[in-house]
Structure 1
Amino acid sequence: MGLFSKDIKTMDDLFVHTLQDIYYAEKRIVKALPKMIDKASDPTLKQAFQMHLTETQGHVTRVEEVFRMHGVEAKTTTCPAIDGIIDEAEDIASEVDDPEVLDAALAAAAQAVEHYEMTRYGTLVAWAKRLGRADCARVLERNLAEEKAADQKLTSIAEAKLNIRAAE
């Protein structure tokens, strides 16, 4: 089902479709993060990725909870956006030999993922509230808060050392 498919007729349909999109994205990220952890050389970056892997596994569980709360089956719909962001990150990572430059590239790639997730969760929270599902919104707000915190942490790490080392 494409984003502008005939199957999406109501705001509720759009909410469920977008929930399926973020569910796919979170599952894809769970598979991608271990590769990023392996490629990172900076211990602080590795630790941030490891912590976010654990959080992302929790995001998957919370999205499944929202599906249950909303009374629909938990299933994914392919998300070309997250596929593109992750594929681009993997391409860049495979082309960089300098470990300091690679760490800066990995942090930037992870932030692109975080920004995508923040847009999706922000939208889902707003739509859940509009649909009278404050219960679903509260669960999704937890994921949104963790995505924002991960983005801020990556910014701090990149600005404090990764970008400086990569530029030397």
Structure 2
Amino acid sequence: MAIKTLEDFFVHSLSDIHSAERQLTKALPRLAKAASDPDLSSAFETHLEETNGQIERLEQVASAIGIKIKRIKCEAMEGLIGEGNEIIDEVAAGPVRDAALIGGAQKVEHYEIACYGTLCALARQLGYEDALEPLLATLEEEKATDEKLTRLAEQGMNQEAAAAA
């Protein structure tokens, strides 16, 4: 997709995060299953539900402003999911794997926060008021998920992982 205008960049960015979220819906069940800690497993399951809602919001945004989401693959998310799969395949189940899963999940959240922050700024610049509210709502959800993962790590998972060494 040739990007020549700010609107082209918005469409590309929206399409890219749409791909990322769709990829994530396929990865989250495996992460939930791989987590030993029930709170971490539950966090992944909750985020799967949120992610499905976020995909719906992205499609509503596109419809509201009259654009079509392009069929592209988010290479960044593919790489981040690949890292998560490596953790699952190479780290034994238990506290160390859980700590590594949290770290990988936070990489995903930070990527999503960056994407949605950019989309919000572009929507403001382009005057896409109908797009701004749902994009801001998703941005806040991503930030809340990142904070939840931080709390899980700080409330004992990282200490358990350190003690397991």
| Structure 1: distance between partners of 2:11 and 2:76 | 17
Where does residue 90 of structure 1 map in the other structure? 85
Provide the C-alpha distance between the structure 2 equivalents of 1:150 and 1:76, rounded to a whole number of angstroms. Answer: 27
Q: Distance in 2 between matches of 1:59 and 1:94?
A: 28
Number of the residue aligned with 1:128 = 123
RMSD, aligned CA: 0.9
Which among 138, 149, 158 is matched to residue 163 of structure 1?
158
Deviation at 1:150, TM superposition (A): 0.1
Distance in 2 between residues matched to 1:78 and 1:98, nearest whole Å: 30
Cα separation, partners in 2 of 1:39 and 1:73, compared to 1, 3 Å = same
> Following superposition of structure 1 onto structure 2, how do residues 35-114 of structure 1 map, counting pairs within 5 Å?
35-114=30-109
Question: Offset of 1:24 from its aligned partner?
Answer: 0.1
State the TM-score, normalized to the length of structure 1: 0.94
Q: Which runs of 5+ in 1 are unaligned?
A: 2-6
Number of equivalenced pairs:
163
CA distance in 1, matches of 2:126, 2:3: 15
Task: Give 5+ residue unaligned stretches, structure 2.
Answer: none
> How far off is 1:75 after superposition?
3.5
**Aligned 8 A contact 2:35 2:98 in 1:** yes
TM-score, with normalisation over the residues of structure 2? 0.96
3, 10, 13: which is aligned to 1:8? 3
Describe the superposition over 1:24-67 as per-residue Cα deviations: whole angstroms up to 9, x where unpaired.
00000000000000101101111111111100000000000011
* 8 Å contact from structure 2 (residues 21, 51) kept in 1: yes
Counterpart contact for 2:12–2:70, Cα < 8 Å: no
Distance 2:31 2:59 in 1: 25
Identity %: 48
Hey, what's the Cα distance between the residues in 1 that align with 2:103 and 2:80? 11
Return the alpha-carbon distance in structure 1 between the equivalents of residues 93 and 133 of structure 2.
42
Offset of residue 83 of structure 1: 0.7
| Alignment check: 8 A CA contact 1:19 1:124 kept | yes
Give the 4+ runs in structure 1 shifted more than 6 A: none
